[in-house]
Structure 1
Amino acid sequence: MSVASRSARTYTYTVFKRFNSSVKTTGFKLSGSDIPKNATIFSMIQPTGKFHLGNYLGAVRVWKDIADLKDDGTTLLFGTADLHAITVPKPNVKEFREYRTEAIASILSIGIDPEKAIVFHQSRVSQHAELHWLLSSFASMGSLNRMTQWKSKSNINDQSDDTALGAIKLGLFAYPVLQAADILLYRSTHVPVGDDQSQHLELTRQLSNTFNAFYKTKYFPMPTTILAPTKKILSLSNPEKKMSKSDLNQKSVIYITDAPDVIAKKVKRAVTDSISESFYYDPVNRPGISNLINTLSGVQRVSIEEVEKDIRHIKDHKNFKQYVTDVLVAELTPSRERFHHFMKNPDYLHQVSEEGASKASEIAEKNITEVKRIMGFL
């Protein structure tokens, strides 16, 4: 089946499949009945520039799917977590500004309509930082110490190493509290994120519950984590680690802005194995092939099993990689073209982010005022 004909097929899956009361995984196809009425759906992504395939399939494409189904009672807020970005210092200020702009362009390029969703920079809404401080008085050091991301970002393997621990910056250690403030500031009911952020959402629910219990209120909701159905997208050259913009080998990373010939070269160089008579999903014994099959599953919105059926006729690596390339080019071309269009219109991007910040600030000020009233500041 050709890529073009595949894109016309419709797949129906159970959406928001429940595996506990606070975490749901989306299916590959959403319908209007799957988005709760009067929901507030919030998510942000760090402005590291253009989105790569892991960002796209692991988080932000779900934003677009949700935005397409928005009704009048649903509030959507999507943006750049630029305050989180400085937990790893950004000495190149010009580059940081460019990354922020590229992140807004990327959000719009995947099809997010700023008329349906509030799109903004986190730093432009001061109440994020204000609620962060208020919630920090409820966050225990023990809870923060159990978070894994600050350890991985700091390359901390031995917590008995006092010198290494002493060098950790407070912002990096405490940023899950800021993330909780981001979410609770808008009294968000649902938060679509990548799987690597699910631990932080547990802390958000913990802080929500602690605040409500302490002040005998029900002001903050218990936000539901929404996970995309695609398993983590891995590096093309080292399928033991996730795809990342910080990878020194940029041939390992596919960006949504990559031209067809660039995608073809990267896929051609992707690590596979010596088995060529069949291609099947086996992440333990065939990690490279499995990563590409998982990518096909995510892009085509079908199960791993269906991908295996569709590629069973392929008997060599060259044709398999050509198939992967064709699928990726068909999926990413519209986003690439929109991205370059938006980057040629920086005034429009600025207008979108500023108008979004104004709308977000209006909601945020109303809610932070109520929080301060509850706490006795007003």
Structure 2
Amino acid sequence: MTRLSAITPSGHVQLGNYLGAIRRWAAEGTDDDVYFISDLHAMTSSHNPARLRALTREQLAVLIAAGVPPRSVGVQSDLVRELGALTWVLECTCTYGEAARMIQFREKSVGRSSVRLSLLTYPVLMAADILLQGAHEVPVGDDQAQHVELARALARRFNGTYGEVFAVPRAVVPPTAARVRDLADPTRKMAKSAQDAAGTVFVLDPPDLVRRKIKRAVTDDLGVVRYAPDEQPGVANLLEILAACAGKEPAELAPAFDSYAELKEATAEAVVQELAGVRERTTALLDDPAELDRVRAHGAERARERSRHRLDAALRLSGLG
């Protein structure tokens, strides 16, 4: 069974990405799984080409440094020719209504006189990502589940019209992970694309910067350390982060602290220790571009090999070639 997951280089990898997904990919991934940097998806809005290229390399290095098997890791654009061909075939299978009803397109286009066409069509590209690799399961959150449903619909329609080529994937809920919130505003998720980085801990932040950000985290004026996400979101966020690093439950850790200062200090040190090895290995990879290029090329070739017969069959059965 093949699982497929991706991360978009819209910003530097942050603590929530690492604790919520990347660390799990490294611990639970199999040789059949596919993990990739979705750099093509990052082009649906205005972007800086040099920054996109640098973030893509950085994210690839982070995945490998975190222990995700290199043979399972790739960069989306390294298969741009294969994905471009399959995306066109799938666009000729998809209807405008199906694409236009995608929630993210409707939300991001509301009130705007002009949006990029790619914002409408990128769910079809996402379907191509999934179907090209023969993925059976796609762990996604609620915001992406609709896109997997589109991939399912297109796979069934193609198979029924032209012949059996694609596995019909299903969305699966990823295992429960830490709810890492923004340190400056715990009512929102920590995000790599946040405008204000004060509340975001990035994987490659130096230890002293990590400590400063966590020690400045917003709490409240109650002065009691307890795990009550609704009443004390800032305190709960720190406990969630500490628990994720320690492999324990947040409520289990709360009684050990008499003050917010103690909680912040313990959380900061736990995060610094958790990220130390990943940061060191990522830096080493980025300082050795030849090795990173070698790993990237190997991952791309493996992805091509596992998808070549599927793409050839889709083109042939749809009347091309």
Q: Does 1:371 align with 2:317?
A: no
Structure 2 counterpart of 1:128: 83
Q: Check if 1:45 corresponds to 2:29.
A: no
Amino acid at match of 1:258: D
Which residue of 28, 32, 36 corresponds with 1:75?
A: 32
Matched, 1:335 2:291: no
Alpha-carbon separation, structure 1, partners of 2:318 and 2:149: 23
TM-score (norm 2): 0.91
- Cα pair 2:180 2:237 within 8 Å, conserved: yes
- Contact kept, 8 Å, 2:124 with 2:151, in 1: the verdict is yes
List per-residue Cα deviations over 1:53-81 (Å, max 9, x = no partner). Answer: 121123222211223xx3xxx42322211
After the TM superposition, which residues 196-215 of structure 1 pair with which residues of structure 2 at under 5 Å, given as runs?
A: 196-215=143-162
Alignment of 1:345 with 2:285, yes or no, is no
Please point out which of 283, 286, 289 is paired with 2:235: 289
How far 1:338 moved relative to its partner? 0.7
* 1:116-265 alignment runs, 5 A limit: 117-125=71-79, 126-152=81-107, 154=108, 156=109, 159=110, 161=111, 164=112, 166-215=113-162, 217=164, 219-230=166-177, 232-265=179-212
Give the Cα separation in 1 of the matches to 2:19 and 2:284: 22
For 1:262 and 1:280, the matched residues in 2 are separated by 26
Separation in 2 of the partners of 1:136 and 1:218?
16
Deviation at 1:265, TM superposition (A): 0.6
By how many angstroms is 1:121 displaced? Answer: 1.6
The 8 Å contact of residues 201 and 225 in structure 1, kept in 2 or not, is answered as no
- State the alpha-carbon separation in 2 of the partners of residues 41 and 260 from structure 1: 34
Instruction: Give the direction of change, closer, same or farther, for the CA distance of 1:243–1:149 in structure 2 (3 Å limit).
Output: farther
Unaligned runs of 5+ residues in structure 2 are none
Partner Cα distance (2:202, 2:86) in 1: 34
Shift of 1:274: 1.1
In structure 1, what is the Cα distance between the partners aligned to 2:57 and 2:258? 44
Determine if contact 2:239/2:253 at 8 Å carries over to the other structure: no
Deviations 1:110-139 (A, max 9, x none): 11232xx33222111121121111111232
Give the AA of the match of 1:201. Answer: V
Letter in structure 2 aligned against 1:111:
G
Give RMSD over aligned pairs. 2.2
C-alpha deviations, 1:194-245, integer Å up to 9, x for none?
5542332222222222323334536323234351411542211112222122
Change (3 A) 1:106 1:271: same
Of 241, 247, 264, which aligns to 1:321? 264
Q: Which amino acid aligns with 2:25?
A: W
Q: Using a 3 Å threshold, how does the CA distance of structure 1 residues 147 and 290 change in structure 2: closer, same or farther? A: farther
User: Identity over aligned residues, as a percent?
Assistant: 32
Gaps of 5+ in 1: 1-38
SS at match of 2:310: helix
Partner in structure 1 of residue 253 of structure 2: 310
Using the TM superposition, give the Cα deviation of residue 346 of structure 1 relative to its aligned residue in structure 2, in angstroms.
0.9
Bigger share in helix: 2
Matches of 1:319 and 1:295, distance apart in 2 = 14
* Native 8 Å contact 1:194 1:228 kept in 2: no
